[in-house]
Amino acid sequence: MNTLLVKAAPTLRVSFEYQHRRYITDGEAVSVPDTAYYRRLLTNGDLVLVSKRATNKGQKSWR
């Protein structure tokens, strides 16, 4: 499964998909799975995409 490297938009905290007491902040980028939950947060502007990461062998990462 592909992952995304994201951080929260400035001044926001966004909860992880299945860990609602852990938050993604605007301080440090974290790696999250490429799921509909995180894509929806990216579309809404709550998360900011830092870069795409390819986890499967043979795929190129977006840099």
Q: Please give the pLDDT value at position 59.
A: 52
Q: Please give the pLDDT value at position 35.
A: 96
Q: Please give the pLDDT value at position 51.
A: 72
pTM: 0.76
Residue 25 tokens, joined: 């902040």
Q: Digits of tens for pLDDT over the chain (63 positions)?
A: 799 999 999 999 999 999 999 999 999 999 999 999 999 999 999 999 997 555 555 555 444
User: Among candidates 22, 2, 25, which has minimal Cα distance to 12?
Assistant: 25
Q: Give the helix/strand (H/E) hosting 41.
A: helix 36-44
